[in-house]
A and B are shown apart, each in its own frame.
Chain A
Amino acid sequence: MDWRRFLFILLIIAILFGVVVLIGKAQVSPLVIIMSMLATTLMVATPLTLGALSGVFCENAAVINIGIEGMMLAAAFFGWLAAIYMNSIFHYPTMPSLIVGVIVAVLVGGLLGLLLAVLSVTFKVDQIIGGTVINILAVGITGYLNRQLFFEKGSIFHGNVPHAPGVLPTLHIPVPEALSAVCNLLPSPQGCLEFANALGKVFDQRPIAIIAIVLVFVSHYVLFYTRWGLRTRAVGEHPRAADTVGISVEKVRYANVIIGGLLAGLAGAYFTIESVPSFEPLMTNGRGFISLAAMIFGNWTPIGAWTAALIFGAAQAMQINLQFFRELIPPQWAFLQISYIVGLAPYILTMIILTGIVGKTIPPAADGQPYEK
């Protein structure tokens, strides 16, 4: 990633963090606020990171995936439904039910990835229309089943939405402990220990958030250091050349679009199995589309896309953390009290980033074009 874009990302994140620190410092120390913002940012960026990775795989194989939003929504619903079924109807304990839920979510994402591949690779449907079909289908199916299964007379749960078995537990990565052990070796460990203590929150993350970050680096390795990645990028940049040397353009595209679907499915699981234990129609709220913007800004690379996703995570974290300091907001900044206005930040940032004022990025050369032999 070029330094200009990296500086821009740092600057925006610093501004978003700075606003919260400036307002909250009267009550809470800046260090604690920064760590808490960092923890929230990593958490809420999870679906964006996974969504952006989904786009990275699809588009490096030259298939535009505008259906990430719908894949996430459908996966969120069916994963949640599977967890409820396992727990309330088959009486499995909580953890196995949740794990089945995550697996179902991932598979539903993969299935929709397969649908996108069938539409765009085999039937050569306009890819943006194909993705839109998936988005509309997901809204329709989840809305219908949500009503039919839970809220109608004679539905399986007789009008009572059963409680989902809960959410995935928080895992603690013992980095702060390791740091405090190092601190104790120092002559004056006070400040260092305080820092280690504040760091605790950042390393309390739930499983999908952790997996998402691991997957960023795995994807980077796969795309740039393996034969698979080389073939994928060849198919995305110059399918005819790839075809000539014996790579099956169709197979590579199918595989990558399905991988993209699986990733979007995991992002869906974040909503109903990791973040909250419930489903609401349209709950993905544009995250799939913001992921695409992150992917574009990240120049179609996994690490770039992840850092871009963190900007949007930070914007959302600002909105969440400002709620704790509502009374501290000075009157001349009163607009920050209105969540409708603060909530605009990710959307406006997306539009600014897409203008390319912080450097244009270049899509894979064959992106969006069906391959005709």
Chain B
Amino acid sequence: MPDRAEKTSTGHIGGVLRSLAESPIWVPLLAILTAMIVGGIVIALTGGNPFAAYAGLLQGALGSKKALSETAVWATPYIFAGLAVALAFKGGLFNIGAEGQLALGAVTAAWIGYALPDVLGVSIPPVIHISLAVGGGMLAGLIWSAIPGALKAYTGGHEVINTIMMNYIALNMTSYLLNGPMKDPSPTNVIARTPQIAESARIPPIFPGLRVHWGFVLALVVAFITWWLLWKTTLGFEIRTVGANPDAARYAGISVKRIIILTMAFSGLLAGLAGAIEVTGLNYRHELGFSIGYGFDAIAIALLGKTHPLGVVLAALLFGAMRNGATRMQFLTQIPVDVISVIQALILLFVAADAIIRYIYRIKAPAERVVLTRGWGG
């Protein structure tokens, strides 16, 4: 952190270097570097050229105006979903259910987008229609995560297993809806997808000709709001206190049950928002299978960003750049885009097990251990 560097550097270069070396950003950066090296070895072992692969990745991610726009497009749902997981971590909860919450947010937004005008029999003005669709998606995500939140608060059922079960239930529900009642009825359609949403429910692009839309800006604003909520409000203080030490929170008079449910609800709201924005800003419909993997990516992003909103935004941009660049990489080198999942898993491994990185690069450990999750008992 720069402010720490200023404090300790009273003209001594050594002091500056030492505080730079102790800065918390090194571990994530070195984790990324190490993951890229190990990923390169995996590519080489399976018959690819890692240098060509990474060159293609870079070109596809940042090489042109269009590439930058696509990176932002990819990063948008990652920011929302990453914030969802990070917020839950702050409250001592592990939300593996972002995937299901996101899918239900997307389905709900799609329904409001294509069916609501017909149901009401009126055309809805754009701003209102977009707000309804996005709000509906947020509500769906909120409900889907408040259930495991309430189960955790009142019965102790562990949120890790319950959110995963809710993922499978959401997946079955969306499969049913998109293959049945909500399936796009146009005669040429054979895919499990909804009809296109009305023009009035679509978030416009920022620049003509590029796909990046105002949802990206909204993601940045929401990241700021999340930071503000966590560090500038009483509720945020309560969430962080429950996350750090629920017993202390209880002694301080905080209703731990209420905070657990609220934290999960906010988390699901953000994940639902990710799905709703994908539908209203980018795809203009929900299609089965588009969201596979967002939930796991979101966990990696939250941990890479050290569960801080700013860190989440940076990690989401990195993951977005990688996912986006991977398509170009596959086109140039025939290495499947799936290799990105391997590299991302390795990043997560090295970030989670930061002791490995500290050991390899001889970085001092921080004084206190941060508690992220709790076992079955807690």
Contact = CB atoms under 8 A, between A and B. Distances in A.
Given A143-B341, A147-B338, A355-B151, A137 B346 contact: yes
Given A340-B172, A340-B173, A348-B169, A133 B46 contact: no
Interface in A164-198: none
Contacts of A369: 375
B339 A144 contact: yes
Contacts of B372: 126, 128-129
Interface string B346-378: 101100110110000000000000011111110
A354 B296 contact: no
B268 to A, nearest CB: 16
Contacts of A128: 94, 160, 372-373, 375
Nearest to B177: A340
Contacts of A296: 158, 376
B300 to A, nearest CB: 7
A152 B345 contact: no
A136 B377 contact: no
Contact of B338 (A130, A140, A154, A356): A140
Nearest to B299: A132
Interface residues of B, number: 55
A344 B174 CA distance: 12
Output the residue of A128, A146, A149 with the most chain B CB within 10 A: A128
Given A128-B160, A355-B157, A119 B353 contact: yes
Given A286-B168, A356-B156, A368 B377 contact: yes
B265 interface: no
Interface in A337-365: 338, 340-341, 343-344, 347-348, 350-351, 354-357, 360, 363
Contacts of A125: 352-353, 355
A351 B173 contact: no
A66 interface: yes
B55 interface: no
Interface in B161-178: 161-162, 164-169, 172-173, 175-176
Nearest to A124: B355
A301 interface: no
B355 A354 contact: no
A90 interface: no
B155 A136 contact: no
B155 A140 contact: no
Contacts of A347: 165-166, 168-169, 172
Query: Which interface residue of B173, B344, B348, B353 has the most chain A CB atoms within 10 A?
Result: B353
| Among B157, B158, B162, residue most surrounded by chain A Cβ atoms (within 10 Å) | B157
B355 A144 contact: no
A354 B172 contact: no
B11 to A, nearest CB: 38
B303 interface: yes
Contacts of B341: 136, 139-140, 143-144
B96 interface: yes
B335 interface: yes
A363 B158 CA distance: 12
A7 B190 CA distance: 47
B377 A140 contact: no
Contact of B299 (A123, A136, A292, A354): A136
B24 interface: no
B353 A123 contact: yes
B336 interface: yes
Given A126-B372, A351-B165, A368-B377, 13 more contacts: A125-B352, A128-B375, A137-B342, A137-B349, A140-B338, A141-B342, A147-B336, A151-B336, A285-B168, A286-B167, A344-B168, A351-B166, A360-B156
Interface of A: 64, 66, 119, 123-130, 132-133, 135-137, 139-141, 143-149, 151-155, 282, 285-286, 289, 292-293, 296, 338, 340-341, 343-344, 347-348, 350-351, 354-357, 360, 363, 367-369
30 contacts: A119-B353, A125-B352, A126-B371, A129-B372, A129-B373, A130-B352, A130-B353, A132-B296, A136-B296, A136-B344, A136-B345, A140-B343, A140-B344, A140-B345, A144-B42, A148-B339, A149-B46, A154-B47, A282-B292, A286-B164, A286-B167, A286-B168, A338-B176, A344-B172, A347-B165, A350-B165, A351-B162, A356-B156, A368-B374, A368-B375
Interface of B: 42, 46-48, 94, 96, 151, 155-158, 160-162, 164-169, 172-173, 175-176, 179, 292-293, 296, 299-300, 303, 334-336, 338-339, 341-346, 348-349, 352-353, 355-356, 371-377
